[in-house]
A = this chain, B = another copy of it.
Amino acid sequence: MGGEYLYQQLEGWLLQGILDQRWKLGDRLPSIRSLCSEQKLSKATVQHALQRLEAQGLIEARPKAGYFVSLQPDGVKKPVSRARIEAPRPVSVSDLLLDIMGRSAAFDLLPDLHSGDLPPAIVALNRSIGRALRRQKGEDYQYYDKPAGFVGLREQLALHHAKRGWAVSPEQLCITSGCQHALFLALMASCERGDVVAVEAPGFYGVLQLLEQLGLRVVEVPTSMDTGMDMDALEEVLERWKVRACIVSPSFATPGGALMPEAYKKRLLALAERHDLAVIEDDIYADTALGRSPDPLKALDVDDRVILCSSFSKCLSRDLRLGWISGARWHDRILHLKLVTQLASSNYLQQGVSEYMADGSFSSHLRRQRHELRTNRDKLIASLHTWPEEVRTSIPQGGLSVWVELPGHVDTLSSYMRGLENGVIITPGPLFSVSGQFANCLRISFAHPWNASRKEALGRLPGLLLNA
């Protein structure tokens, strides 16, 4: 314990207590006050240790009640399927998969539903944008914004990231048209045609399509629904093939919401240094955390090789089309690529969003949304475990979806068209890999509230999927 800080000692002691079941799932941990007096520690040290455990999804804070062990609800079975390691290959996406991707981008069980009232958070956001439009002066509209984007928004983003343990300066950020655009810039800047890129399997299908269009080859690394990309498997991959870049989502990887532990992150960065990789961190789900948002991998990047990509699409609005990138040693190249492929982003829009962040609206929206997402997630998981056959699900501590593993005879791809005819959109497992795996799996989103029509659609799923 010699070299450890006090908060690390406390964190280790609490973790051991959870592993030894001194505190079981759902148990309340000792209060901050009692930990301070028993362990002879300051309040700040105790809070820091608790927040780190919370960020790892091991405990959760309940307002005015304390911290509770949240490792894994009783009786829930977790997915067991694991990707195979196969040689790098070019990506080829079929038309059927393209169709599914187009429809699933909505992250919903139902076809587009655009009725009802706008939530107050979006009304406030739109007001901020409207004010920025009205504030335009003189010949503002005649100018292109700088490629890096509006400095006011980059300052707000830097403050936002500082809360998550990453001290970034506005100069290290570049505004993009969303996270997919950021991932595109990251790959264009760090790879050349024919290079091999390591990805999570199952992982984000948008990345696979991007690799296909850029003529990059892919190698899939088995990924757990709890801890993310498997570091032993990554090490094996890196020793067997020359890999140029690795795309990971340490904070709530899609489809299952895995959260990468601190120790894995350090091992990933050590591997990246040894094999001279670009590490592209897809951080888009970080602010959907059900507890505190975890620190990004980028916060540990002393070697300037982690490119962080993110956007407002998952935590605020998909229609903003605003994201950001921090490009590490490739940042200048990324700025240039943004200039050349798009010139600029809308200045008025960035001004509106930065005001929405500066006046506290964004933070309070995230706090409210956390509670809604937790409710949605719990209802979804409870419903899945009433199905007539064995269902295994991930237990995400963030993200917007659950990964569902059904019995081996189920073929979610062939159920897709049947679902569509019945007004239900599913996201079949094979979408999340290039090798046709995960036929008996699917992703189900809890981004939307479980209103009557969604509940009804969810109720029809077992019939659609299990009785093929």
Residue ranges of A at the interface with B (Cβ–Cβ < 8 Å): 98, 101-102, 105-108, 112-118, 122, 126, 129-130, 133-134, 136-147, 177-178, 180-181, 184, 188, 193, 206, 209-210, 212-213, 215, 313, 317-321, 336-337, 339-349, 447-448
* Bound Cα distance from A118 to B147, whole angstroms: 23
Q: Is the CB of A141 within 8 A of B122?
A: yes
* Bound Cα distance from A116 to B139, whole angstroms: 8
* Bound Cα distance from A215 to B337, whole angstroms: 12
* Bound Cα distance from A105 to B143, whole angstroms: 8
* Bound Cα distance from A142 to B136, whole angstroms: 27
Q: Is the CB of A112 within 8 A of B448?
A: no
Given contacts A184-B340, A210-B341, A319-B348, contact A114 B139 (CB under 8 A): yes
A218 to chain B, nearest CB (A): 14
23 pairs of residues in contact across A and B, judged by CB atoms under 8 Å: A101-B339, A102-B147, A105-B143, A105-B144, A106-B143, A115-B137, A116-B139, A122-B141, A126-B133, A141-B320, A142-B448, A144-B318, A145-B319, A177-B177, A178-B342, A181-B341, A181-B342, A209-B336, A210-B341, A212-B340, A319-B347, A320-B346, A341-B341
Given contacts A106-B142, A319-B140, contact A210 B340 (CB under 8 A): yes
* Bound Cα distance from A319 to B143, whole angstroms: 7
Closest to A133 in B: B126
Q: Is the interface of A mostly helix, strand, loop or mixed?
A: loop
Starting from the known contacts A114-B140, A140-B319, 19 additional A-B residue pairs (CB-CB under 8 Å) come to A98-B336, A102-B147, A102-B339, A114-B137, A114-B139, A116-B138, A122-B141, A129-B133, A130-B130, A142-B448, A143-B318, A143-B319, A180-B340, A180-B342, A184-B340, A184-B342, A193-B215, A206-B343, A319-B347
Q: Is the CB of A138 within 8 A of B126?
A: no
* Bound Cα distance from A137 to B122, whole angstroms: 10
* Bound Cα distance from A8 to B178, whole angstroms: 50
> How many protomers of this protein does the assembly include?
2
* Bound Cα distance from A343 to B210, whole angstroms: 11
Q: Is the CB of A139 within 8 A of B126?
A: no
Closest to A311 in B: B343
Closest to A176 in B: B342
Given contacts A136-B122, A143-B319, contact A341 B115 (CB under 8 A): no
A99 to chain B, nearest CB (A): 12
Using Cβ atoms and an 8 Å threshold, which residues of chain B touch A313? 144
Using Cβ atoms and an 8 Å threshold, which residues of chain B touch A180? 340-343
* Bound Cα distance from A267 to B60, whole angstroms: 71
Using Cβ atoms and an 8 Å threshold, which residues of chain B touch A345? 321
Q: Is the CB of A113 within 8 A of B98?
A: no
Residue from B130, B136, B177 within 8 A of A134 (CB atoms): B130
* Bound Cα distance from A342 to B206, whole angstroms: 10
A53 to chain B, nearest CB (A): 31
Closest to A347 in B: B319
Residue from B118, B146, B213, B319 within 8 A of A138 (CB atoms): B118
Using Cβ atoms and an 8 Å threshold, which residues of chain B touch A102? 146-147, 339
A150 to chain B, nearest CB (A): 11
Closest to A146 in B: B102
* Bound Cα distance from A320 to B143, whole angstroms: 10
Q: Is the CB of A318 within 8 A of B142?
A: yes
Q: Is the CB of A115 within 8 A of B138?
A: yes
A303 to chain B, nearest CB (A): 26
Closest to A142 in B: B318
Using Cβ atoms and an 8 Å threshold, which residues of chain B touch A339? 101-102, 209
Q: Is the CB of B343 within 8 A of A105?
A: yes
A106 to chain B, nearest CB (A): 5
Closest to A449 in B: B139
Using Cβ atoms and an 8 Å threshold, which residues of chain B touch A337? 213
A321 to chain B, nearest CB (A): 5
Using Cβ atoms and an 8 Å threshold, which residues of chain B touch A144? 105-106, 313, 318-319
* Bound Cα distance from A452 to B209, whole angstroms: 53
